[in-house]
Amino acid sequence: VGWRVCWAKAEEEDEQRHMAFLSHDISMLRLFETFLENTPQLTLLLYIILRTNKAELSQGLGLVTAFLCVSWRLLDYHQSLRSFVQDKYELSLGSSIIYFLWNLLLICPRILAVALFALLWPYGVAVHFPLVWLAMFLWVSLQGTDFMESPCPEQLYRAVVAVILYFSWFNVAQGRTLYRSIIYHSFILLDSSLLALAWLWGRAPSEEHSYLLLVLAAALPCYLLGLGLRVTYYKWLHPNVQVQKEGRYDEVDASGGEDGVEFRSFLEPDLVNRRMQYLAQTHLSLSQLAQQHFLNGAAALESAV
In a domain, 299, yes or no: no
In a domain, 259, yes or no: no
In a domain, 274, yes or no: no
Alpha carbons 92 and 89: distance in angstroms, whole number: 9
Nearest to 159 by CA among 36, 11, 1: 36
Which domain, by its residues, includes 233?
2-247
Check residue 87 and give left, alpha or beta (phi > 0: left; psi -120 to 50: alpha): left
Q: What is the pLDDT of residue 245?
A: 60
pTM: 0.79
In a domain, 147, yes or no: yes
Alpha carbons 154 and 40: distance in angstroms, whole number: 23
* Angle (deg, nearest 10), helices 211-232 and 93-120: 150
In a domain, 197, yes or no: yes
Number of domains in the chain: 1
In a domain, 282, yes or no: no
Q: Which residues of the chain fall short of a pLDDT of 50?
A: 248-270, 286-291, 293-295, 297-305
Which parts of the chain are beta strand (E)?
none
